[in-house]
């Protein structure tokens, strides 16, 4: 494996191509996903169980919903070390979410005109937890905890052939509804409901192309947070430790053969050193080798300021850079300051969410948060003295739009104030 080093015109062409990227190419799987969505929507549990038996290892007669006793047993059979780690991670994520939670407020904007904001949780959400190449109990923590902090009363977890660690994490968080189904069929069940799985207001969580395509196709019937594609990681460094950088590149590359891992540096010496360390640290890690061979790149730039400009153009999911450069960052899913902060800490335990925007979506939003699970509802109250303050201007605006009824509803109050 030899990760490529680009500079000059090759670098600029590469960056322009990245700027134009979007979510994963889903066209290839969308026809099959449409059929699955339609089948589950029409035939409910019968279709769901057929797909779950084929792809999710659901046994004949086995319940789709995991009994709560099984969740508790999984927790009891979990090693004390993993129990402690789960508790620590959950505690940090919960505290971060509590700090993140929006507050209600009310203020007088004019004499007699009071405005405010109410915060109300969604009634129900579906949390998708992948169960394919790697079991991801960390994703269960990252999706369920912000929903709990937001106050969502009905939280449904979907995960195909879940690992014991995932079931144990669900038990620790007090999850009551856990379903052993995945793929497009799980998204269909959450979006449209079946006899055994009630529909939800919103679906969150990452998945493979079939899951992502299904979320895209149901998005007008059931809210989603965003479409998540393969992992993306960008590192900016001028004189960093090549071992730290190489290890972080490998850590993100091993998520997916399509992961995008980039180092941007003004130092050719550092580029060569990282390239050498990657050879050493990818041994016995075939997924990372494939990913870095296909999409791993080192970009040589004239200055570190150019590196930040490129990172803002790329809008990566993860971005590591010196803390002094953070004020210049505009577009990133999550930022990791200084080289001693491993991106893996954010994947598991430091507190911020690891469900992050990819495909350039970091230009318009950050990662999953408590805000994804609440409604911010504006409210207002106008007293007689308040309508005198704002009514005349509102009447002028209504008449400018030709909405006479609007103007009259204001005028009658002004004359009676």
Helices 304-314 and 8-19 cross at an angle (nearest 10°) of 30
Catalytic pick among 30, 318, 339, 354: 318
d(CA 150, CA 125): 11
Q: How far is CA 318 from the centre of its chain?
A: 12
d(CA 186, CA 143): 16
Q: What is the DSSP letter of 58?
A: P
d(CA 74, CA 11): 50
Q: What is the DSSP letter of 281?
A: H
CA angle, 399 then 401 then 406, to 5°: 60
Q: Are the beta carbons of 114 and 108 closer than 8 angstroms?
A: yes
30 catalytic, yes or no?
A: no
318 catalytic, yes or no?
A: yes
Catalytic pick among 30, 232, 317, 339: 317
The burial of 364, by beta-carbon neighbours within 10 Å (0-12 exposed, 13-18 middle, 19 or more buried), is given as exposed
d(CA 57, CA 213): 22
Q: What is the DSSP letter of 220?
A: T
DSSP calls for 36-100: HHHHHHHHTHHHHHHHHHHHS-PPTT--SBPPHHHHHHHHHTS-HHHHHHHHHHHHHHHHHHHHH
DSSP calls for 355-373: ----TTGGGT--S--GGGG
Q: Are the beta carbons of 44 and 195 closer than 8 angstroms?
A: yes
Q: Which residues are catalytic?
A: 317-318
């Amino acid at each position: 494996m030899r990760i490529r080093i680009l500079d000059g015109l090759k670098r600029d062409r590469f960056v322009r191509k990245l700027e134009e990227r979007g979510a994963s190419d889903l066209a290839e799987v969308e026809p099959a996903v449409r059929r699955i969505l339609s089948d589950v929507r029409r035939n409910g549990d019968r279709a769901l169980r057929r797909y779950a038996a084929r792809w999710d290892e659901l046994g004949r007669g086995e319940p789709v919903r995991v009994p709560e006793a099984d969740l508790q047993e999984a927790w009891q059979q979990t090693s004390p070390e993993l129990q402690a780690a789960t508790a620590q991670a959950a505690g940090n994520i919960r505290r971060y979410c509590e700090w993140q939670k929006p507050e209600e407020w009310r203020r007088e904007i004019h004499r007699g005109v009071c405005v405010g904001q109410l915060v109300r949780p969604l009634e129900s959400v579906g949390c998708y937890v992948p169960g394919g190449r790697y079991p991801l109990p960390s994703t269960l923590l990252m999706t369920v905890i912000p929903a709990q902090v937001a106050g969502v009363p009905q939280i449904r977890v979907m995960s195909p052939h879940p690992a014991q660690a995932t079931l144990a994490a669900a038990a620790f968080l007090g999850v009551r509804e856990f379903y052993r189904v995945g793929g497009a069929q799980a998204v269909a069940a959450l979006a449209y409901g079946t006899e055994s799985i009630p529909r939800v207001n919103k679906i969150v969580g990452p998945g493979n192309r079939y899951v992502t395509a299904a979320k895209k196709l149901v998005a007008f019937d059931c809210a989603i947070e965003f479409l998540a594609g393969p992992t993306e990681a960008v590192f900016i460094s001028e004189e960093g430790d090549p071992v730290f950088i190489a290890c972080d590149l490998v850590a993100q590359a091993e998520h997916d053969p399509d992961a995008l891992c980039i180092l941007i540096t003004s130092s050719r010496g550092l580029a060569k050193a990282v390239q050498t360390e990657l050879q050493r640290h990818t041994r016995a890690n075939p997924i990372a080798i494939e990913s870095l061979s296909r999409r791993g790149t080192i970009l040589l730039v004239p200055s570190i300021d150019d590196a930040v400009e490129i990172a803002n153009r790329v809008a990566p999911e993860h971005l590591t850079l010196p803390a002094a450069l953070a004020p210049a960052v505009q577009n990133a899913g999550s930022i990791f300051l200084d080289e001693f902060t491993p991106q893996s800490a954010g994947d598991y335990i430091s507190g911020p969410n690891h469900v992050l925007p990819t495909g350039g979506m970091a230009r318009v939003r950050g990662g999953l948060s408590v805000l994804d699970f609440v409604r911010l509802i504006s409210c207002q109250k106008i007293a007689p003295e308040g309508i005198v303050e704002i009514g005349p201007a509102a009447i002028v605006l209504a008449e400018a739009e030709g909405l006479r009824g609007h103007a009259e509803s204001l005028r009658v109050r002004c004359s009676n104030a």
